[in-house]
Amino acid sequence: MRAGKASVHRKFGPVENGYRYSYVIQPFVHLFANLTPRWFFPNAKWCSPDPLISFRLTTPTVYGCLSQAPRLPRDGQEIAMSDGFNLAVQAGEISFDRSFFGAPGELVRLSPLVRRIVASNAGPMTFTGTCTYVVGTGEVAIIDPGPDRPDHITALLTALHDETITAIYVTHTHKDHSPGARAIKAATGARILGCAPYDFTSRAAGNPIDAAHDSDYAPDTILRDGGAIEGKNFSLICVETPGHAMNHQAFALPQENALFSGDHVMAWSTSVVVPPDGAMRHYMASLTKLLTRADKIYWPGHGGPVKEPQSFVRALIRHRRGREKSILSRLNAGDTTVPLIVANVYKGLNPALTGAAALSVLAHLEDLVERGLVRMEGSAALGAIYRPA
C-alpha cells in the first residue's frame, strides 16, 4: 500500500519551529507515490500510525504541511515530482513550538554560559511565565529579572547564593520583565543596565498601554545599539529591537552565538505589536535587522528557545506581510473601517479575540499610513475611515 511508504520519514525527527509550508496536490495518490526521504509531514491522522505524518483530506485535494526539507522550497515554487506532477508550495502559517515545560523557581542549565529560571506568572500573555536568564558562572549577569514576585526573586537569589550577581539587564519595561530588578539590586548591589525607561509622555500620553509599563524602572546605564558590557568570560552586546515596545532591546552573547531576544522573537507565539507603544514599522525593521546577524539560537522572554532563528524570523516577516496584503486587498475591496477589515480578514475568529485582532489590524494600518499607501480620515485611529492612497 502506498501510504506505508510514507512511514520511513519518521527517522527525520520532530518538527522544529521555523518553517511550515502548506501544499495542495491532487489527486492525493501522487503524493504518496512521490514522497522521498527529503520530505516529511507532521501530525499524522489517517494515513499511518506514525505521529509525524498527517493530512487533512478534502477530496480530491490534499492539504497538509511540509517541513524540514534540506533545501527549503520557496513560497510559490513549483517542485517537479518524479512522474512529472508538480507540487505547488505556498508559505503557510508559522509553526510555533509550545513544548516548553519549565517548572517555575528551578534554575536550569541550558548551555555552558546560560541558565534559566522561570517566574510563576504563567498566563495567556506570558505563556509559562517570564524567563529570567543567568549568564556566566561565579560572577553572573541576570537578564530580565521578571515581575516583582517575592517567590521568584527568592528562588533566584537562593539558587545563586554562592555566586555574585554583578549586573541586571532589562530588555524592555513591561511589568512582567523589569520590576524584579529593584529587589535584586537592593539585595546584591548589582547595576541595572539595558533599555531606556518608558517615555510616559511619548506618542499618546495616558494611553492604556502605559499601564503595562513599569514606571519605577531606573537603570544605572542605558545601553545603545552595539553597546557592549564585559562580564567574566562573557560579553553582552545591546541589539536595539523596537517594535513590541519602543524601548525594546535584545542582548547578544557572542561567546555562544546566542541572542536574548526578549519579547521581540519568541518560539511559542508571535509578538504583540499594538500602537501606540508598539509600532509595526519598527517591529518589521527589527526583524529584518536580525536577518543580518548570525545568531545560532535565541533565548526569548517567554517559552523555549528559537533554534533556527533565521528561518523563523523569515517566517515571521512573511506572516506579517501576508496579513498586510490581506488588509490592503480588503481596503481595495471597499472595507473602510477596522471592524469591517477584522470581520473579513479573520473569518471564523473566536469573538473573544476580536479586540486583539482589531489592534493588530490597527498596527498594520498605522504602518501603511506612514508609508503613504493608505489614507486615514479622522483622528481616533480605531474609529477612523481608511482608504487606499
- Is the Cβ of residue 174 or residue 282 nearer to Zn ion in the bound state? 174
Q: Is 213 in the site for Zn ion (CB under 5 A)?
A: no
- Is the Cβ of residue 44 or residue 131 nearer to Zn ion in the bound state? 131
Q: How far is the CB of 174 from Zn ion (least distance, A)?
A: 3
Per CB under 5 A, the segment of 13-21, 47-55, 173-181, 226-234 that binds Zn ion is 173-181
Q: Is 182 in the site for Zn ion (CB under 5 A)?
A: no
Taking residue 322's Cβ as centre, other Cβ atoms within 10 Å add up to: 14
**Helix 354-370 vs helix 280-291: crossing angle, to nearest 10:** 80
- Is the Cβ of residue 174 or residue 185 nearer to Zn ion in the bound state? 174
Nearest residue relative to Zn ion (C-beta): 174
- Is the Cβ of residue 58 or residue 202 nearer to Zn ion in the bound state? 202
Taking residue 82's Cβ as centre, other Cβ atoms within 10 Å add up to: 9
Q: Is 263 in the site for Zn ion (CB under 5 A)?
A: yes
Q: If DSSP states are collapsed to H, E and C, what string results for 105-139? A: CCCEECCCCEEEEECCCCECCCECCEEEEEECCCE
Q: Is 240 in the site for Zn ion (CB under 5 A)?
A: no
Per CB under 5 A, the segment of 15-23, 47-55, 169-177, 188-196 that binds Zn ion is 169-177
Per CB under 5 A, the segment of 56-64, 170-178, 341-349, 370-378 that binds Zn ion is 170-178
Per CB under 5 A, the segment of 99-107, 168-176, 281-289, 375-383 that binds Zn ion is 168-176
Name 251's Cβ contacts closer than 8 Å, sequence gap at least 6: 143, 169, 171, 194, 236, 237, 238, 239, 259, 260
Q: How far apart, in Å, are the Cα atoms of 183 and each of 100, 172, 174, 175?
A: 27, 17, 16, 14
Q: How far is the CB of 263 from Zn ion (least distance, A)?
A: 4
Name 248's Cβ contacts closer than 8 Å, sequence gap at least 6: 171, 172, 195, 240, 241, 242, 262, 263, 264, 286
The torsion of the CA quartet 294, 287, 235, 196, rounded to 10 degrees, works out to 170
Could you say which residues in the range 82-111 bind Zn ion, by CB under 5 A?
Answer: none
Per CB under 5 A, the segment of 39-47, 166-174, 235-243, 369-377 that binds Zn ion is 166-174
Q: How far is the CB of 118 from Zn ion (least distance, A)?
A: 15
Strand partners, 24: 63, 88
Asked if residue 219 has a cis previous peptide bond (ω within 30° of 0), the answer is: no
Q: Is 174 in the site for Zn ion (CB under 5 A)?
A: yes
- Is the Cβ of residue 126 or residue 166 nearer to Zn ion in the bound state? 126
Q: How far is the CB of 79 from Zn ion (least distance, A)?
A: 39
Helix (H) or strand (E) holding 359: helix 354-370
Q: Is 248 in the site for Zn ion (CB under 5 A)?
A: no
- Is the Cβ of residue 61 or residue 202 nearer to Zn ion in the bound state? 202
User: Alpha helix (H) ranges present in 204-337?
Assistant: 280-291, 309-332
Residues within the interface to Zn ion (CB under 5 A): 174, 263
